[in-house]
Homo-oligomer: A and B are copies of this chain.
């Protein structure tokens, strides 16, 4: 390498670091921005095992950088607090930790201020690290992973907070914005012809391991709806007895529905004879033309049966995604969450990120009104157990 080359290379790396630090701070600060409307008390409760308190989210996303990067890359790194590794770790798989997973809302300490101090400390250490050394590919990847991880928790922040507020008889509002009043869109079917389509991520930017490797999938001709299912359409399903007719439902769905006494979508309430829903702006009357939200896979499937239609597979969705608008609702697909052919799980803790969830879950495609900026692409695979509806999920039909 000539000296010129070397200087050029340094410049490129610097530029990359500069950009990375900008991006790092932008994403890290966004986590703080979205917490601004909160009272100290709002950071604490965890009313359901599937959600986490804002305080824990702020600590956990910070722990990721400390645990995965600072401990490895900064010699004689001094952890902010010796117990935080245990408190903010969601990975370590013991019975003890499982209890903790349901018990994040039982812990008043550390205080909210202490968690913000923790964030400051880690951000400062990260900044020092990224300025001091020539970053390896691995380090750059881990920073990217940490930031994408944080964006996922930013999204969860909205759904978890909504749930926590929704069970409070005072029905508090987070903002003036309801976050789920998107129009369903216009009617119409998009036809996709039979053929082999490339599926999976093939670009140079960040993607999760579960989006790779890119591979060919053969699809028969199909049609996919231009619009999302609207609230009004779902009201028809309810009012024609959809929740009482087992022929629309999977066997497991029916057991769930009976056990949990489900007869309407999450957050829906009938007030004085008309349908309302709890939103992040408080209780609001439902608009029939808006896109349905907070629907479980079980309900999405039952609704499709009711319409004599079906959900698309994730492959169909991806093949057609350039031809319709998406990004307001995570959209349930009929596909089970499975590895792509040739998928390789990463070594170590990073490998726990995706692979170990590849059973019993369904794939969602798209993004939602609460997805962080620059955190969506058409190859992104989200996944949840089929009864989960607390995300901003919707339905797009196929045939």
Contacts and interface: CB of A to CB of B under 8 A. Distances in A.
A227 to B, nearest CB: 23
A108 B168 contact: yes
B220 A342 contact: yes
Contacts of A110: 170
A103 B167 contact: yes
A41 B43 contact: yes
Contact of A44 (B45, B255, B298, B342): B45
A168 B109 contact: yes
A236 interface: no
A77 interface: no
Interface in A348-399: 351-352, 356-360, 362, 386
A366 B233 CA distance: 43
A98 B251 contact: no
Given A169-B86, A249-B356, A359-B253, A109 B39 contact: yes
Interface string A190-234: 000000100000000000000000011110100000000000000
A250 interface: yes
A258 B95 contact: yes
Given A44-B41, A252-B359, A106 B167 contact: yes
A81 to B, nearest CB: 8
A342 B339 CA distance: 23
A197 to B, nearest CB: 11
A251 B41 contact: no
A253 B107 CA distance: 28
A253 to B, nearest CB: 7
A45 B104 CA distance: 10
Contacts of A357: 250-252
A83 interface: yes
Given A44-B45, A336-B338, A338-B336, A105 B105 contact: yes
A29 interface: no
A334 interface: yes
Contacts of A358: 250
Q: Could you tell me the dominant secondary structure of chain A's interface residues?
A: mixed
A94 to B, nearest CB: 8
A111 B253 contact: no
A359 B301 contact: yes
A112 B357 CA distance: 40
A162 to B, nearest CB: 13
**Max count, chain B CB within 10 A of own CB: residue among A169, A254, A335:** A169
Interface string A83-109: 100110000011100100001011111
A294 to B, nearest CB: 19
**Max count, chain B CB within 10 A of own CB: residue among A40, A41, A105, A254:** A41
A143 interface: no
Contact of A254 (B93, B169, B172, B360): B93
A164 interface: yes
A146 interface: no
Contacts of A258: 94-95, 98
A108 B164 contact: yes
Given A87-B169, A216-B218, 6 more contacts: A42-B108, A45-B107, A45-B108, A251-B356, A359-B362, A359-B386
Interface of A: 39-47, 55, 83, 86-87, 93-95, 98, 103, 105-112, 164-165, 167-170, 172, 196, 215-218, 220, 246-247, 249-255, 258, 297-298, 301, 334-336, 338-339, 341-342, 351-352, 356-360, 362, 386
